[in-house]
Structure 1
Amino acid sequence: MKTKTYFLPAFIAFLLISCQQGNVYSKFDNGFSNNRWEKTNTKTYDFSIEDETKQYNIVLRFGHVYDYQFATVPIVIMITDPSGKEEKIAVPLKIKDDSGKQLGECAGDICDVSFTVKNKVNLAKGNYKVTISNSFNGPYLPNVLGIGLDVEIAE
């Protein structure tokens, strides 16, 4: 009986570690007042790359209310590499397909959309800064539940 008791926690710890091995960085900000992403509220993410021999994916995550009123959301991403070089990427983040179907994964009235900003790229060793803002034509983007960034080792 005690063997089973020790085995279960060890197995759960193994699963948690193995699921996160490819994740270099992950952060999701969800503190938007009244579900409004203010145009002036730029999100900043800092992460470090230790192994430049690997390839990485940089993934934007966007949480929104189900049946979002817009088919796309204008997002601007600025990536600053360890040398200080900046790369600006404008992303028309697709929320719905042409038929109006939600593209994200939804549970109840909460939906999450992921967009790969960079796929299988080599990143130099050092510190990176990524800023994410919206360029919506208005003071805020409504019905936003959160925004986040994942950096993962590409398979």
Structure 2
Amino acid sequence: MPSVIRLFFLLSLIVGVASCGPTVVYEETKPTSEAGWPYADTLSFVFDVADTTQAYDLEVVVTHGTNFPYENFYLLIYTDLPTGRRTKQSVSLDLSGDFGAWNGDCSGERCELTIPILLNTRYQQAGRYGITLEQYSREETLPAIYAMGLRLLHHEVGG
């Protein structure tokens, strides 16, 4: 009988550990052209927020080549609120560190990097939100940017 109790305890522990971690509310990835990300091509994402008491984290996921020629690039983020109002924010996405090592997880000639944009934020109104990403560099087509993703998670207390 003690071995059954140990087995039950072990299985409970495994299930408990596996269920830890943030809850993904929304996640979508959109590819860009294999030639790069043209300035004129914006990427739009739409998600619903039902719970205004819940804190959320918003992340951008960048898939880029190891041949990306810069440490960073700028992104314009437009947010369409349920009220019809639109906001605009410029952010720098740092793809590599000071010594040239890529910040993301790389496999072969591609890297993926998750960058938090908003942490522990509450949406003031329930409804549909739209996020549009626009590359904001000096180049007409930003080379070696293969995909951009958006992820909305429940903010984990202490995490």
TM-score range with shorter-chain normalisation? 0.7 to 0.9
Question: What TM-score do the two structures reach when normalised by structure 2?
Answer: 0.81
Partner residue in 2 for 1:6: none
Say whether the 8 Å CA contact 1:67–1:102 is kept in structure 2. Answer: no
CA change 1:97–1:20 in 2 (3 A) is: closer
SS in 1 for 2:150: strand
Partner residue in 2 for 1:3: none
Deviations 1:3-31 (A, max 9, x none): xxxxxxxxxxx89x95897111100012x
Shift of 1:113: 1.4
- 1:5-154 matches, cutoff 5 A: 18=19, 22-30=23-31, 32-123=32-123, 124-154=125-155
Gaps (5+ residues) in structure 2? 1-14
CA change 1:50–1:39 in 2 (3 A) is: same
Distance 1:43 1:34 in 2: 15
Say whether the 8 Å CA contact 2:67–2:144 is kept in structure 1. Answer: no
Distance 2:39 2:104 in 1: 23
Question: What TM-score do the two structures reach when normalised by structure 1?
Answer: 0.83
Distance 1:114 1:36 in 2: 19
Shift of 1:53: 1.1
Distance 1:61 1:98 in 2: 20
Equivalent residue pairs, number: 140
Shift of 1:101: 1.2
Give the aligned CA root-mean-square deviation in angstroms: 2.0
Say whether the 8 Å CA contact 2:81–2:128 is kept in structure 1. Answer: yes
Percent identical among aligned pairs is 23
Partner residue in 1 for 2:10: none
Give runs of ≥4 in structure 1 deviating > 6 Å: none
Larger Rg: 2
Gaps (5+ residues) in structure 1? 1-13
Say whether the 8 Å CA contact 1:78–1:130 is kept in structure 2. Answer: yes
